[in-house]
A and B are shown apart, each in its own frame.
Chain A
Amino acid sequence: EPEVTQTPSHQVTQMGQEVILRCVPISNHLYFYWYRQILGQKVEFLVSFYNNEISEKSEIFDDQFSVERPDGSNFTLKIRSTKLEDSAMYFCASLGAGELFFGEGSRLTVL
């Protein structure tokens, strides 16, 4: 069964460092998303991406965040200068047949 894959599964970084989280969406899907879940809290929408551009973003998705689809398969989330409050689980998702398929998440810990 096709699935969304994310790497790394866990990343520990120092505050102020750049982080890139990678996702490989399901191959025939066209819409991609990043969500964030701070430990013990709800899942929050960050950004949606379609046709090589951002289609919608939340207020969380400020100038420190960017997304890119550098090739035909990867979909990346970059945080330019991490803050302590960026520590969270980041989920990638792609949309197919009206259903969101989530990856298993990348846990980011900012020290």
Chain B
Amino acid sequence: GDSVTQMEGPVTLSEEAFLTINCTYTATGYPSLFWYVQYPGEGLQLLLKATKADDKGSNKGFEATYRKETTSFHLEKGSVQVSDSAVYFCALEDNAGKSTFGDGTTLTVKP
């Protein structure tokens, strides 16, 4: 079955540091790939997505590129802020709309 493996956390960074959260996937077919963010006490929010190979999703300074050759969708941000502190989930969605999530990576950004 489909699976998503995320870099283990938690990740603690200082403000303005560079962020990478690794994500790799296993899937049959051609899934769409997503990053979701969950702020403390809140639900899931879509952060960015990519629907085919070599697509780059971007939002709020975050980026991720769909790499079919390495089956990866790593999340990056050049300069993190305290307000970016949250749990980040990588996910894939199959053709039926069913999503499979990674374990989540907790990011804490310190001033």
Contacts and interface: CB of A to CB of B under 8 A. Distances in A.
A60 interface: no
A33 interface: yes
Query: Is chain A's interface secondary structure helix, strand, loop, or mixed overall?
Result: strand
Given A42-B89, A42-B104, A102 B97 contact: no
Interface of A: 31, 33, 35, 41-45, 48, 55-56, 89, 91, 93, 95, 98-105
Given A42-B89, A98-B32, A99-B49, A91 B43 contact: yes
A100 B43 contact: no
B92 to A, nearest CB: 11
B42 interface: yes
A31 B43 contact: no
A35 B104 CA distance: 15
Interface residues of B, number: 22
A44 B62 CA distance: 25
B89 A33 contact: no
A43 B97 contact: no
Contacts of A104: 42-43
21 contacts: A31-B97, A33-B99, A35-B101, A41-B103, A42-B102, A43-B89, A44-B101, A48-B96, A55-B96, A56-B98, A91-B43, A91-B44, A95-B97, A98-B32, A99-B49, A100-B34, A100-B97, A101-B46, A102-B36, A102-B46, A104-B42
